[in-house]
Structure formats: structure tokens, C-alpha cells
Amino acid sequence: MKNTTCIIPAMRGRETLLERAIISAEINNFDEIIVVGQRGLNKICDKHNVTFLQKEEAWTSQRYNIGVKAAKSDFIMLLNDDDFYFYIPDIYDSDVPLIYSDYFILKHGSFAKYVSKPMILTENNYIGYMTVRIKRKILIDNPFDETLKFHEDYEMWMRLHKKGCPFQYYPVSFSVYDDVPSKDRKRESEKEKTIVREKLWKKYRKNGKEKQ
């Protein structure tokens, strides 16, 4: 992927998943791959000759921001350590400031397609973070909210939408959200996530419903 940095926040205990994520980024020929994670993960990064930035205890939002600041490319793509890519289509080699697409959900060994066709953003986070290719300058000027433990991507999309940032949707699928519980993946509290989501809705739902 030309002129694009892939940023992967990572945690210890998920090394096998991290390596899968790195390999999936490597096959897409990113100009740069940056892993932001805990001590010890550098061994995997050295094996694959990717950049490693150490950050011990941090939420995903903080690791994203560290990676964005260090990136050298004009565009950014984000990939958590437990998700992965297939081949990214050529249509993504674009100058559009922010593009996103459909994606797959992997659960119990089966793939299901999630269609990200524009809906009402303040009712549902239909934008899969791992499908987004966004200009680095947008993320420099609008960093992820580091006070959020969950839904940092959802908050970002609603904030950018409110500011009038254009979103371009492409009906293609190449990224995979792995939703399978495993020993090396900690399941977040759904109750906590619901509380955060409702706070975001209260903040961004003003003057009725806004369509994307």
C-alpha cells in the first residue's frame, strides 16, 4: 500500500495473533508497519523487520496516537493485533482523505460479511476501523481521545463527521475482525462498553438525527 503506514497496537499474551496481523500487513506492501506494544514483543517485530515502539500500560487510543506521531507516510491504516487483512484492493491507492469499506467477521471458524453501507452514524458504528485509510494530517490535528478505554474509533468517526470531514465508502471487503474468544484474547466488559457508547451518543446526538 503506497504512501501508507499500518499501525498495530499490541499486548503480551497474544503473540501468535500479532504475528498473523503483521504477516497480513506485509503481504500488502505497506511503506511502513509500526507495532506499539509491551516489552518483549520486539522479538516478533525484529523477526519481520518492522518498527517497534514500546509502551507498557496503555489503552488502544494511546497506542494509536503514538504510532500516528511516529509514522512517516501521508496515510494511515489501523489494525489491532487480533485482526488481519486479506489483499487490499487497488482502489484503496487513492488520495481521498478518508475511505472505508465492508469487512468480514470471523467467529467460531466461519466468516460473515458486514456491509458498511452508510447509515445514521449516531445510532450505529458501521465503520470498521480496520477498513479505514485516512490522511495522517487529519489524525495529527484530531488525535484519538486518550480518556476512552473503549470505542475510541467510534468517537473519532462521530467527531470528524461533525466537523464536516468527507467519508468515502467503497463496497469491497478485505479486512477481518476476529470475534472468536481464545486464551490469548481478553474479552472486554460489554457493560462498560455500553456505558461508554451511551455517553458518546449523548454527546453527539444534537438537533435530531444526522445521516452520513
Q: Which residue has the higher pLDDT, 121 or 76?
A: 76
Q: How confident is the model at residue 194 (pLDDT cuts 50, 70, 90)?
A: confident
CA dihedral (171, 174, 103, 151) in degrees, to 10, reads -120
Q: How confident is the model at residue 188 (pLDDT cuts 50, 70, 90)?
A: low
pTM (predicted TM-score) = 0.91
The tens digit of pLDDT for each residue in 144-170 reads 999 998 899 999 999 999 999 999 999
Average pLDDT in the 194-212 region? Answer: 74
* Separation in Å, CA 143 to CA 53, 153, 157: 18, 10, 11
Right CATH for 4-204 from 3.30.160.100, 3.90.550.10, 3.40.50.620, 3.20.20.30:
3.90.550.10
Mean per-residue pLDDT over the chain, rounded? 90
Q: Facing residues of 185 across strands?
A: 182
Is it the case that residue 186 has pLDDT exceeding 60? no
Read off φ and ψ for residue 194, nearest 5 degrees.
-65, -40
115: region left, alpha or beta (phi > 0 left; psi from -120 to 50 alpha): beta
- Counting residues of the chain whose pLDDT is more than 70, the rounded percentage is 92
pLDDT at 209: 46
Tell me which residue of 69, 81, 51 sits closest to 139, measured CA to CA: 69
What are the b/e assignments for 94-129, b being 16+ CB within 10 Å? eeebbbbbbbbeeeeeeeeeeebeeeebbeebbbbb
